[in-house]
Chains A and B, each alone.
Chain A
Amino acid sequence: MRLEAKYNWLPSPFLSLLLFIVWLFLNNSVSNGHIVLAIILAIIIPLATKPFRTKQPLIIKPGLAFRHLLLVLYDIITANVQVAILILGPTKKLTPGFVKVPLDLTHSMPITILASTVSLTPGTVSAEVYPWNESLTEDEEPQERFLLIHVLNLEDEQALINTIKERYEAPLKEIFQC
């Protein structure tokens, strides 16, 4: 896990890239003036907001992150069709349940990303991260954490946990190298 960026003037490269793209999208043009303004904003805003933000792990493997993003997008579409069928089907047959998934990730940022993908993908909504203390300082020993999720139609608990760990958590561990 790496917390510091390479250059001091570019504290979070992906935020800068995102700001650059969003500015061009908002103006809907790629004229020279807008590109210059976008570059200025993409450098100044992360520098100005640096003191307010806690240090987050950087994405170390961008290629893998992009592939994981495509996989998640594909899963969102298939899972939505499944959920739509479940919703329109008979309600009496559904057996909802709460499942506790043990987490290997330790830092708050990868856990947030994992919880968001779990919420968006197969009939599950992430509910809670146990134990409660939210912020980990760097010298603190990382403790084991659990993610509580609510499942719309629970069939096989162990299979669901394995799917989440293999399909969504393992790539995240590799992307952030933690």
Chain B
Amino acid sequence: MFEWIISILLLIGGCFILVGSIGLVKMPDFYMRLHGPTKATTLGMASLLTAAMVFFSTTQAGLSIKEILISLFLLLTAPISGYMMIKSAIHHKLDCIERTKGIDNIEDDV
């Protein structure tokens, strides 16, 4: 029973991590590449860590909930590092692909 839950959670996590990295390689410009790692990889890690939590709670004595800390930490920090990266990309005026709408919305920085 628990083996099934762990396996499904592990597979979901692995799939999301893989999707995030595929997005990193496949997308044409930096701004689109950022979407894969900030979202898919974070959820993949959360799912994988939940699997680890269930695994250690069932195989070893006592409940093991400290894996939540890593997923909490990643959930908190992923948007901030994404924000810093897109800020530096805008500062360096990286090219976006041509069909990007609303480029005028970017203001010049000081």
Contacts and interface: CB of A to CB of B under 8 A. Distances in A.
Direct interface between A and B, CB < 8 A: yes
A150 B31 contact: yes
Given A84-B19, A120-B39, A125 B99 contact: no
A25 B66 contact: yes
Contact of B64 (A22, A28, A84, A127): A28
What is the size category of the interface that chain B forms with chain A? 35 or more
A36 B71 CA distance: 26
Nearest to B77: A116
Given A26-B66, A96-B32, A152-B35, A120 B78 contact: yes
Contact of B86 (A28, A132, A150): A150
A40 interface: no
A170 interface: no
B39 A83 contact: yes
A94 B39 CA distance: 17
A130 B107 contact: yes
A148 B23 CA distance: 22
B5 interface: no
A95 B29 CA distance: 12
A162 interface: no
Contacts of B82: 119, 125
A9 B39 CA distance: 39
Contact of B102 (A25, A84, A97): A97
Given A98-B103, A150-B86, 11 more contacts: A80-B16, A83-B36, A91-B27, A94-B32, A96-B29, A96-B100, A119-B79, A120-B78, A120-B79, A125-B83, A128-B87
Interface of A: 22, 25-26, 28, 76-77, 79-80, 83-84, 87-88, 91, 94-100, 115-117, 119-120, 123, 125-128, 130, 132, 148, 150, 152, 154, 157
